[in-house]
Amino acid sequence: MSTFEEAGPPLQSRASELADRLAALLDRFDVPGAAFALARGDELVTGAAGVLSCATQYPVTADSWFQIGSITKLFTATLVMQLVDDGLVALDEPVRTYLGAFDVGDEAASAAITVRHLLTHTSGIQGDYFGDFGRGADAVDRYVASLAGIDMLHRPGEFFSYCNPGFAVLGVLLQTMRGADFDSILSERLLHPLGIPGGTLADQAILHRVAIGHVPGPDGAPAVPAPRWAMPYSAGPAGSTPFTDPAGLVSFARLHMSGGLAPDGTRLLSQAAVDEMQRLQVAVPDFGAIEGIGASWIRYRWGDQTVLGHDGGTDGQFSFLRVHPPTGSVAVLLTNGPDGGRLFEAFAAPLFAGLAGAPVPEQVCPPADPPAVDVDRLAGTYLHYGKAVEVRVADGRVAATVTAEADESTGDPGLSETFDLVPHSQSTDAVMLVAAVPLRGTHPAVMFPAPAPGSDEAARYLRVGGRVFARSTA
């Protein structure tokens, strides 16, 4: 596949070609519509293909709004770093310094969790608990207060485990320190200064071209519109509500490549804060192409290059952002179908590789000669909020069954999926197994802690999809 680096012409001159390529790929994947933006330096090209909703067949345009999901976490983190710049918050102070009633149901953890723990997904709070507390002004506060009734996953600082509620806590921190609601803070301190369109409320979305999420159709049928527009409003700071267009995310990325300056030269973030967000804070050596996390940029390995980024997922909408500061390159893909991830790999990833001069990360696959691993110590049931992984070992073969609870409000039927695992690699810290056959185009990797020398102690946890699952003692 050709890349911009090879082809040479200005990006905008390829807009039609790229839109046609995207349209052809939509037919291959279960994605009704998508919009993209690609940038290098001052150049920018945008485009779109498909429909906003299978029900209306209204076409996607380059300025259509899509939900950005967890890419929002980068906006929330930027707003928190503005608090740091203003001397209102310190990253290594306990959250209780600013939110005296903060309670996660464990007194020691409640007192120990810091702002940095929240930004780096190391707090130990269960990562996929979403409480719906309506649209009231206190919705985010009530969601955070409800964490007192949810068991902790691990001790603060012990592991990286992707955590949505932690960003709701940061939302309450912002609201408390700024004396305004999260929607207003986001709009006034980032969206408006950067000229980013969109917002957070359905009242705003209905006035514009806006994508509707789609979920898998019944019995293998094509995707159908999701039964609700957005995830709970109370999780807005974690990504449940914000939406924009692809060019809007390029504007945000450019803020972080310009040392914190808006297009008009206004300083929105200090250079020190920009650096703090991007530097490696927690290494995750066992997580495929991801090398670790900053505060809260995900750091990816593309060959010998570090690429910053984040993905997002809401009810049937999936978003992707990649940034390479040394070349000023940005790729954005916003989609409204369940197969958005494979569309990103087929369309946006190779194009971004050309812009950044860095190879697309290779997919993890089973090795031709699997290493010898003590798999008996891996057997057991491992739990994460709303999900479970049962690992069974028989005659040296390993199988995993992943289950997830159904959610009637989203139309999510839940999950029960069994697949064989084969050893992939091991180090002094970790043992990695991967699915023997691809699932939806990839081989999921499952990591277990390595045993202490000379020990056959059962694994205490596993990590899959960036989430830690703790061994059940029941």
Question: In the chain, what are the domain boundaries?
Answer: 1-362, 376-471
Question: Could you tell me which residues come within 8 angstroms of residue 276 by beta carbon, excluding any fewer than 6 positions away?
Answer: 81, 84, 91, 294, 295
Query: How far is 462 from 474, CA to CA, in rounded Å?
Result: 17
The answer for residues whose C-beta is within 8 angstroms of residue 437's C-beta and 6 or more apart is 419, 420, 443
Closest CA to 295 of 84, 99, 465, 38: 84
Sheet holding 33-40, edge to edge: 43-50, 33-40, 329-335, 318-324, 305-313, 298-302, 290-293, 282-287
Helix ranges (DSSP H) in 133-270: 139-145, 165-178, 182-186, 192-194, 202-205, 246-257
Residue 472 catalytic?
no
Residue 409, preceding peptide bond in cis (omega within 30° of 0): no
Instruction: State both tokens at 426.
Output: 């091991």
The 8-class DSSP code of residue 61 comes to -
pTM for the predicted model, two decimal places: 0.95
State the pLDDT at residue 411: 56
How confident is the model at residue 7, as a pLDDT?
Answer: 42
Say how far apart CA 93 and CA 18 lie, in whole Å.
Answer: 47
What distances in angstroms separate CA 54 from CA 210, 333, 434, 446, one per listed residue? 13, 19, 35, 35
Q: How far apart are CA 234 and CA 67, in angstroms?
A: 15
The catalytic residue among 2, 13, 16, 70 is 70
Six token digits for residue 177: 């320190």
CA distance 88 to 105: 26
Integer Cα distance of 60 and 49 in angstroms: 6
Task: Tell me if 442 sits within 8 A of 373, measured CB to CB.
Answer: no
- Give the Cβ contact number of residue 221 at 10 Å: 9
Q: How far apart are CA 70 and CA 362, in angstroms?
A: 24
Q: Hunting for tokens 């190391």 — which residue is that?
A: 122
Q: Is the peptide bond before 296 cis (omega within 30 degrees of 0)?
A: yes
Single-letter amino acid code for the residue at 1: M
CATH T-level assignment (fold) for domain 376-471:
Lipocalin (2.40.128)
Q: What is the pLDDT along the chain (474 residues), one digit of tens a residue?
A: 334 444 456 788 889 999 999 999 998 999 999 999 999 999 999 999 999 999 999 999 999 999 999 999 999 999 999 999 999 999 999 999 999 999 999 999 999 999 999 999 999 999 999 999 999 989 999 999 999 999 999 999 999 999 999 999 999 999 999 999 999 999 999 999 999 999 999 999 999 999 999 999 988 889 999 999 999 999 999 999 999 999 999 999 999 999 999 999 999 999 999 999 999 999 986 667 899 999 999 999 999 999 999 999 999 999 999 999 999 999 999 999 999 999 999 999 999 999 999 999 998 899 999 999 999 999 999 999 999 999 999 999 999 999 998 776 555 667 789 999 999 999 888 999 999 998 888 899 999 998 888 888 999 999 998 999 999 987
For 1-362, CATH number out of 3.40.50.1860, 3.40.50.300, 3.50.50.60, 3.40.710.10 equals 3.40.710.10
